[in-house]
Amino acid sequence: MRRATPTPQHPAKRESVTSHSSGITTSVLGALKRGLAGRERELGLTVCGGRGRHSRQTPSELVAFGERTGVDGVALARTSRLVAKVDSALVQDGFDLYLHGFVVAGDGSWAVVQQGMNTQRRQARRYHWLSEGVRSFVEEPHAAIEGHPAGAIVNLTDRRAAASRDAALELSREPERVLRELPRLRMPAHHDVRGSDVFLRRLHGTLAAAREAAPRDFPELLLQPGMGARTVEALAAVAEVLHGAPCRFADPARFSLAHGGKDGHPFPVPLEVYDRTISVLKQAVSAARLGQTEKLEAIRRLDEQARRLEDGTSGPRLEEILEHERARSHEYGGRDVAGPAQPPQRKQLRLFS
C-alpha cells in the first residue's frame, strides 16, 4: 500500500472540499478500534488496520481474528491485500492510499474504508467496500468512492475493461513480448511511455516472477509481489495496442453533497437534515431486523435510480448548487466548527454608478 505525505496545512479554498474533512475518517476508525478493543466478542465487531504503519498490520490482525473466532482469517487477509491493490493499481486516479480500515463481523462479513490523498490537488478521496455487494474484486466492486471525479483515468475496474484485464493476464506470461513492445508505445492520446515511467529491468523481474507463479486469474496476478500501478499500466498499454483493449474510462468517484462538511465546505452541515437522515436509516435498519425490508429496499432503489440519472441528466452548475445550499443552510440548522450558519448578508444597493 502506498503512503501519502500529510495534508497541507493551508490548502487553497477552492480545492479543499474534501481535504478539510479527511481527518475525521482517521479519527473515527481509530476511536472505533480503541473503543471495541476487548469487547469484540460481546459486540460481534472487530476493527483492524488504520493509518500508515497500522494499515500494513491488517493482514496479520485478520489472521489472528480468524484464530480466535474460527472464521477464515487467511481469506480475510487476502481480501485486505487485494482491496488495497485494487484501489492503488487498478483505479489510478492520482490518490495515494494512507488509510486502510477493515471492519469484520463474527460471521465473517466485512466492510473496508480506505482513504487516499492527492497533495497537488489538496484533496482526499475515500473508497468504500461492503462484502455483501462484492461479486468481483476487479469489476466494479466498490460500494462507493467519494471524491471529485477527474475525467478519464486508468480504471481497470470498469466493466468495459474486462478485455484489458484478460489481455494483461495473457501478456504476463510473455515478459519478453511486453518488454519488446513497451519502449515503442505511446499511451493513447496521452503521453509517451518513458524510462522514467517504467523501470524495465524491474518490470521484467516482476513479470518473470508472475510467469513462474502462473496466476489463474487477474486477482491472483494483482497479488503477485511487485505488481503495482506502473506494472499494471504497462501491461494495459501493451494490451491496448496489441489487442485494442482500452483501459481508460470515467473516474468512478462520486462527490456527495447531501450533508455538507464540519469545516463548512462545501456548506455547513444542515443538522435538521442530518438528524432526519439518521432517523430514517435507523427505522429502516430496525424494520429490516424484524423482517420488514420494504423501507430499506426503497432506499436502495432510490440510490440506484439516482446513480442512473447522473449519467444522462443536466442541471445547474455545481457552483450554483453550492451557493444555494450555503445561502439556505441556516434554515436547516446549519453548523460548522465555527458555530451556527448565518443568513447571507443582503447586498447593498448601488446608489451611484
Same domain, 144 and 244: no
Among candidate residues 148, 177, 207, the one where a domain is terminated: 148
Same domain, 61 and 35: yes
Among candidate residues 93, 123, 148, the one where a domain is terminated: 148
pLDDT at position 265, please?
Answer: 66
Question: Which residue, among 92, 10, 86, 96, has the nearest Cα to 51 in the 3D structure?
Answer: 96
Contact 338, 272 (CB under 8 A): no
Among candidate residues 125, 148, 171, the one where a domain is terminated: 148
Q: Which residue has the cell 481474528?
A: 65
pLDDT at position 197, please?
Answer: 52
Length of the chain: 353
Flag whether 219 is in a domain.
Answer: yes
Phi, psi of 305 (to 5 degrees): -65, -40
Which region among 16-30, 57-71, 94-108, 291-305 has the lowest average model confidence (pLDDT)? 16-30
Q: What Rg value do the Cα atoms of the chain yield, rounded? A: 23
Flag whether 99 is in a domain.
Answer: yes
Flag whether 119 is in a domain.
Answer: yes
Contact 88, 95 (CB under 8 A): no
Same domain, 71 and 188: no
Flag whether 288 is in a domain.
Answer: yes
With a cut of 70, say whether residue 351 has pLDDT above it: no
The CA distance from 168 to 234, in Å, is 9
Flag whether 349 is in a domain.
Answer: no
* Residue 104 or 275, more confident: 104
Secondary element (H or E) of residue 24: helix 22-36
Question: Which residue, among 100, 109, 117, has the nearest Cα to 21 in the 3D structure?
Answer: 117
Q: What is the pLDDT of residues 186-197, one digit of tens each?
A: 554 444 444 445
Same domain, 86 and 179: no
pLDDT, the chain, mean: 83
Same domain, 19 and 138: yes
With a cut of 70, say whether residue 139 has pLDDT above it: yes
110 bridge partner residues:
104
- CA distances 10 to 6, 7, 19, 67, Å, are 12, 9, 10, 45
With a cut of 70, say whether residue 228 has pLDDT above it: yes
Same domain, 115 and 40: yes
Contact 139, 157 (CB under 8 A): yes
In which band, very low, low, confident or very high, does the pLDDT at 101 lie, cut at 50, 70 and 90? very high
Flag whether 112 is in a domain.
Answer: yes
Flag whether 207 is in a domain.
Answer: yes
Domain interval for residue 77? 13-148
Same domain, 278 and 163: no
- The distance of Cα 312 from the centroid of its chain, to the nearest Å, equals 23
Question: Which residue, among 274, 2, 34, has the nearest Cα to 115 in the 3D structure?
Answer: 2
Same domain, 140 and 18: yes
Same domain, 121 and 58: yes
In which band, very low, low, confident or very high, does the pLDDT at 11 lie, cut at 50, 70 and 90? very low
Report the number of distinct structural domains present in the chain: 3
